[in-house]
Structure 1
Amino acid sequence: MSKMTILCIGAHPDDVEIGMGGTTAMHTKKGDDVYVCSLTKGELSSNGTVETRQREAEAAATQLKVTGRYQLHFPDRGISSDHHEYIVLLDMIRQVKPDVVFAPYFEDRHPDHSACSELVRQAVFDAGIKKYPEVQHPSFKVDSFFYYFINGFDVPDFYLDISSEQERKEGALLCYESQFVLQAESVATPLTEGYIESVRSRDAMFGKQAGVRYAEGFKSAAPLVLASIPKRRA
């Protein structure tokens, strides 16, 4: 199988690790090029400074061994295609030339996750428009676009077995100590109240549905077409 280029986009640092850290680790281990992009710096987060979260994001990227990490400058709670950073996002997609793009699933309790989902959907489409103005790199059509889950979940269109990478995924999440560990100077939030354990439980539930120990579930932006009937163990 030929080498793949994968672009995983989230609204905040830690979104990709929550939703698809295992998949990211699995593909970097296979030798694929995997890039992670955060649209905002999460500057409105209840805990942690922007500087702290950037250090944590770099540590998580190292843990997952990603090819590269992009930090864009959309304002937290201000993700919109009207913002000037939209052109930067569009140009990044054209420059990376990903075979696959991932974004958060649009049904999520956090408005930024829903906004990120829609923004990336638009950007993937606009990346293929040859005459789109103000973009430096030539147009590029992304082959596949999928959604990962952050806070909520739905019935996935497909699962990926991350059993061998669950530990590395949780190691990447633990890099975000300011978000997931209640400290003396922090305030209690849903993220500090057993959030990593809840992510593990969801991965275990998806794994049970898929017949493996741990799995991550994904929705497809378009109908999936298979080359042949897949085998499924009983």
Structure 2
Amino acid sequence: MKGLSLATPGERLNVLCLGAHSDDIEIGAGGALLEWIARGVKVEATWCVLSAPGQRGEEAETSARSFLQGAASARIELQQFRDGYFPVERAPIKEWMQDLARRFTPDVVLTHKSDDAHQDHRLVSELTWNAFRDHVVLEYEIPKWDGDLGRPNVYVPLAAATLAKKLELLELHFATQHGKDWFDPETFQGLARLRGMECRAPERYAEGFVARKILLA
């Protein structure tokens, strides 16, 4: 399987990371970000969490800095929209997203899957496509009890060391999530192994994404 590259080692890659909640980006795309940085891509990241109150905000801040260690630049924005209420807060979230699009022109946008079972995730995905119509948008997946995993069509292979680091950072930074029955290293490693099998990743692991539209130049 021949791969397409967003950036090669030494090249700059401006990445906009969007997550409804404090651990979303890390779970869905943390491995890809760690892998790009480890391979020498000069990642310029803007990391936005839309619902990050109190301790969850502290977790979001420290985790983002850990995942982006070694990036060429890192900007972190934490918002206070209410967890679980995004659909009824649509207007202010849309205004915030449109302002974000005026301020940033990323090479790639990482956001939620459009058919994610969580209402907050779905709205973030919808508004991402409203605001970033001319960009490469990769939709990441988050395993949960809803059973909403789909069929990715884009894969980022992960080195075993990269996956190990992702699992370590998730365990380290999200104490508030440890009581959830799906939030554990086995879940995340199992999904990474499945996606690695699907794309025949050299070191067995990968993260999967959905790309609705890609322009080959």
Normalised to the residue count of structure 2, the TM-score between the two structures is: 0.80
Q: When you count strand as a share of all residues, which structure comes out higher?
A: 2
For residues 211 and 220 of structure 1, what CA distance do their matches in structure 2 show?
Answer: 19
CA contact under 8 A between 2:111 and 2:124: conserved in structure 1? yes
1:14-33 matches, cutoff 5 A = 14-29=23-38, 30-33=41-44
For residues 51 and 200 of structure 2, what CA distance do their matches in structure 1 show?
Answer: 36
State which of 34, 50, 61 in structure 1 corresponds to 2:45.
34
Note the C-alpha offset of 1:79.
Answer: 2.0
Q: Which residue of 2 aligns with 1:231?
A: none
Q: Which residue of 2 aligns with 1:105?
A: 113
Amino acid at match of 2:135: D
Q: Which residue of 1 aligns with 2:136?
A: 144
For residues 209 and 183 of structure 2, what CA distance do their matches in structure 1 show?
Answer: 23
Instruction: Among all aligned residue pairs of Structure 1 and Structure 2, give the percentage whose two residues are the same amino acid.
Output: 27
- Taking structure 1 as reference, are residues 111 and 88 closer, same or farther at Cα in structure 2, changes over 3 Å only? closer
Kindly provide the CA deviation profile for residues 103-140 of structure 1, in whole angstroms up to 9, marking residues without a partner as x: 11122222211121112111213xxxxxxxxxxxxxxx
- Taking structure 1 as reference, are residues 82 and 156 closer, same or farther at Cα in structure 2, changes over 3 Å only? closer
Normalised to the residue count of structure 1, the TM-score between the two structures is: 0.74
Q: Which residue of 1 aligns with 2:207?
A: 216
- State the secondary structure of the residue aligned to 2:91: coil
Task: Give runs of ≥4 in structure 1 deviating > 3 Å.
Answer: 192-196
Aligned pair 1:160/2:156, yes or no?
yes
Over alpha carbons, which structure has the higher Rg? 1
State which of 206, 211, 224 in structure 1 corresponds to 2:195.
206
CA contact under 8 A between 2:28 and 2:142: conserved in structure 1? yes
Q: Which residue of 1 aligns with 2:95?
A: 87
CA contact under 8 A between 1:148 and 1:218: conserved in structure 2? yes
Kindly provide the CA deviation profile for residues 132-180 of structure 1, in whole angstroms up to 9, marking residues without a partner as x: xxxxxxxxxx43111111123222112111124112211231111111x
Root-mean-square deviation (CA, aligned residues, Å) is 2.1
For structure 2, the 5+ residue unaligned runs are: 1-7
For residues 57 and 39 of structure 1, what CA distance do their matches in structure 2 show?
Answer: 10
Amino acid at match of 2:194: M
For residues 163 and 182 of structure 2, what CA distance do their matches in structure 1 show?
Answer: 20
Bigger shift: residues 161-170 or 3-12:
161-170
Aligned pair 1:173/2:170, yes or no?
yes
CA contact under 8 A between 1:12 and 1:40: conserved in structure 2? yes
- Taking structure 1 as reference, are residues 84 and 173 closer, same or farther at Cα in structure 2, changes over 3 Å only? same
Note the C-alpha offset of 1:224.
Answer: 5.5
For residues 60 and 94 of structure 1, what CA distance do their matches in structure 2 show?
Answer: 26
Note the C-alpha offset of 1:93.
Answer: 2.7
1:57-136 matches, cutoff 5 A = 57-65=60-68, 67-80=74-87, 82-125=90-133
CA contact under 8 A between 1:72 and 1:89: conserved in structure 2? no
Bigger shift: residues 212-221 or 150-159:
150-159
For residues 194 and 79 of structure 1, what CA distance do their matches in structure 2 show?
Answer: 23
Kindly provide the CA deviation profile for residues 61-119 of structure 1, in whole angstroms up to 9, marking residues without a partner as x: 12212612111232222224742242222222332221111111122222211121112
For residues 12 and 59 of structure 2, what CA distance do their matches in structure 1 show?
Answer: 28
- State the secondary structure of the residue aligned to 2:32: helix
For residues 149 and 112 of structure 2, what CA distance do their matches in structure 1 show?
Answer: 11
